[in-house]
């Protein structure tokens, strides 16, 4: 499975000797045969050759699909630059948009979209005896664990003795939930989970949430109600739908705030030129990008500033400028290098209206 260090390595790689051929192939086989996918692969590689891909890189990808790919996953991503012997391939369990790109650096924008949508995600299944946790990453179950306390029963018989026993059982249930909340917080912190969906009855979830530390409460984005014996696959299907809706709404709210701040001269910027300037100045905290946005431009060979203006020299250091087929991809590379969050907002009309890119600023 692809790891964070793989993404960082791709972001840092740059070839001055020869261009990198990047290929994204969606293989979710609903409605298409393998022959159709082979034709699609051929079409993408032909487009790559037309963009200037080296024959050796086209051949390397062909050889991978012919002899090395094990038919696993819903998508495959390949990066080839054979002159410096650079080759990376990843099978993904989540779909991607088909794409091919030739440039001095790998095309990482689509991977950032995958990372944004399918980052480490947890489901906590709660009942009166404790909790089970599933952790998913890039669509795959990465880990699972649980903490169960004393067995708790609901007593249906009446009378003083039964009421006393029921109070004891309720107290035991609260103790179980408190222990489970503390354990879940420590466990999910270690797993670096960024979003959490709770599963259980309304009453159990309400009591469990009260026991959660604030740091974990802030990561809870919704709830569902599944049986404790549900499979990780069932939990993923139900919980990810909730997580996606929550993320979409959060991104809409953030974009609206950024646009308002930009218009008022606050901590927000919109449009490609102004965003590139803020990124070079080190003012960007988070990028919001339409994955379909592409724009040629230039990059300074000295200070690495990226710009879309047709200039003779770098406005920051007077260094020489080199052409780039896609400065948006370069901006995403720089953001990853700096450890910034990058959110991909596909087909968002508000983002389109302001130029397809915006940023939350530090100041």
220-224 and 195-199 strand pairing: parallel
Interacting residues of 57 by C-beta distance below 8 A, sequence separation 6+: 20, 21, 48, 80, 81, 82
Q: Report the alpha-carbon distance of residue 174 to residue 273 in Å, rounded.
A: 55
DSSP alpha helix (H) spans, 197-308 = 202-211, 214-217, 232-263, 272-280
Q: Report the alpha-carbon distance of residue 90 to residue 77 in Å, rounded.
A: 5
| Last residue in a domain, options 80, 107, 134 | 107
pLDDT band per the 50, 70, 90 thresholds, residue 170: low
Asked if the model's pLDDT at residue 168 lies above 50, the reply is: no
Q: What is the pLDDT of residue 140?
A: 92
| Last residue in a domain, options 213, 247, 281 | 247
Contact status, residue 25 vs residue 45, Cβ threshold 8 Å: no
Residues 18 and 94 occupy one common structural domain: yes
Tell me the mean pLDDT in the region 66-77: 91
pLDDT tens-place string over residues 174-194: 888 999 999 999 999 999 999
| Last residue in a domain, options 39, 72, 107 | 107
Residues 132 and 238 occupy one common structural domain: yes
Q: How many domains does the chain have?
A: 3
Q: Report the alpha-carbon distance of residue 199 to residue 213 in Å, rounded.
A: 18
In a domain, 125, yes or no: yes
Q: What is the pLDDT of residue 152?
A: 47
pLDDT band per the 50, 70, 90 thresholds, residue 161: very low
Residues 92 and 125 occupy one common structural domain: no
What is this structure's pTM?
Answer: 0.81
Contact status, residue 269 vs residue 260, Cβ threshold 8 Å: no
- CATH number, domain containing residue 321: 3.30.1330.30
Q: Which range marks the domain in which residue 340 is found?
A: 267-361
Residues 125 and 243 occupy one common structural domain: yes
pLDDT tens-place string over residues 14-30: 998 899 999 999 987 66
Q: What is the pLDDT of residue 36?
A: 87
Residues 10 and 78 occupy one common structural domain: yes
- The rounded mean pLDDT for the chain is 91
Residues 100 and 34 occupy one common structural domain: yes
pLDDT band per the 50, 70, 90 thresholds, residue 323: very high
Asked if the model's pLDDT at residue 159 lies above 60, the reply is: no
Residues 287 and 345 occupy one common structural domain: yes
In a domain, 67, yes or no: yes
Q: What is the pLDDT of residue 285?
A: 97
pLDDT band per the 50, 70, 90 thresholds, residue 156: very low
In a domain, 114, yes or no: no
Q: Report the alpha-carbon distance of residue 167 to residue 145 in Å, rounded.
A: 29
Residues 136 and 234 occupy one common structural domain: yes
pLDDT tens-place string over residues 245-287: 998 899 999 999 999 999 999 999 999 999 999 999 999 999 9
In a domain, 113, yes or no: no
In a domain, 260, yes or no: no
Q: What is the pLDDT of residue 101?
A: 96
- CATH number, domain containing residue 216: 3.30.420.60
Residues 144 and 82 occupy one common structural domain: no
In a domain, 82, yes or no: yes
Residues 235 and 131 occupy one common structural domain: yes
In a domain, 136, yes or no: yes
Residues 182 and 91 occupy one common structural domain: no
Residues 188 and 299 occupy one common structural domain: no
Q: What is the pLDDT of residue 154?
A: 46
Handedness of CA 56, 304, 11, 45 (dihedral sign): negative
């Amino acid at each position: 499975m692809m790891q964070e260090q793989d993404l960082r390595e791709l972001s840092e790689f740059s070839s001055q000797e020869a261009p990198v051929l990047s290929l994204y192939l969606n293989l979710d086989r609903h409605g298409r045969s393998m022959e159709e996918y082979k034709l699609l692969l051929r079409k993408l590689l032909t487009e790559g050759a037309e963009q200037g891909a080296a024959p050796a890189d086209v051949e390397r990808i062909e050889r991978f699909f012919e002899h090395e790919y094990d038919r696993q996953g819903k998508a495959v991503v390949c990066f080839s630059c054979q002159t410096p012997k650079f080759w990376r391939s990843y099978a993904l369990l989540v779909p991607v948009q088909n794409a091919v790109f030739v440039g001095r650096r790998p095309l990482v924008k689509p991977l950032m979209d995958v990372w944004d949508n399918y980052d480490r995600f947890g489901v906590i299944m709660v009942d009166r005896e404790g909790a089970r946790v599933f952790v998913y990453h890039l669509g795959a179950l990465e880990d699972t664990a649980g903490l169960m306390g004393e067995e708790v029963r609901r007593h249906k018989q009446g009378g003083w003795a039964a009421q006393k026993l029921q109070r004891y059982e309720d107290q035991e249930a609260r103790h179980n939930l408190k222990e489970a909340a503390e354990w879940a917080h420590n466990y999910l912190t270690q797993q670096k989970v960024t979003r959490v969906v709770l599963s259980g009855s309304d009453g159990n979830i309400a009591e469990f949430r009260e026991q959660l530390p604030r740091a974990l409460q802030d990561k809870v984005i919704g709830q569902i109600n599944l049986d404790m014996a549900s499979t990780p696959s069932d939990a993923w299907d139900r919980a990810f739908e909730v997580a996606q809706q929550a993320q979409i709404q959060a991104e809409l709210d953030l974009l609206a705030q950024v646009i308002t701040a930009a218009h008022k001269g606050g901590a927000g910027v919109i449009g490609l030129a102004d965003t590139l300037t803020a990124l070079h100045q080190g003012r960007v905290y988070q990028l919001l990008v339409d994955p379909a946005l592409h724009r040629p431009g230039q990059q300074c060979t000295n200070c690495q500033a990226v710009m879309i203006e047709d200039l003779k020299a770098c406005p920051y250091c007077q260094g020489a400028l080199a052409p780039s087929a896609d400065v948006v991809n370069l901006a995403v590379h720089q953001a990853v290098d700096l450890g910034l969050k990058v959110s991909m907002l596909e087909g968002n009309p508000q983002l389109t209206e302001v130029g397809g890119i915006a940023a939350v600023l530090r100041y």
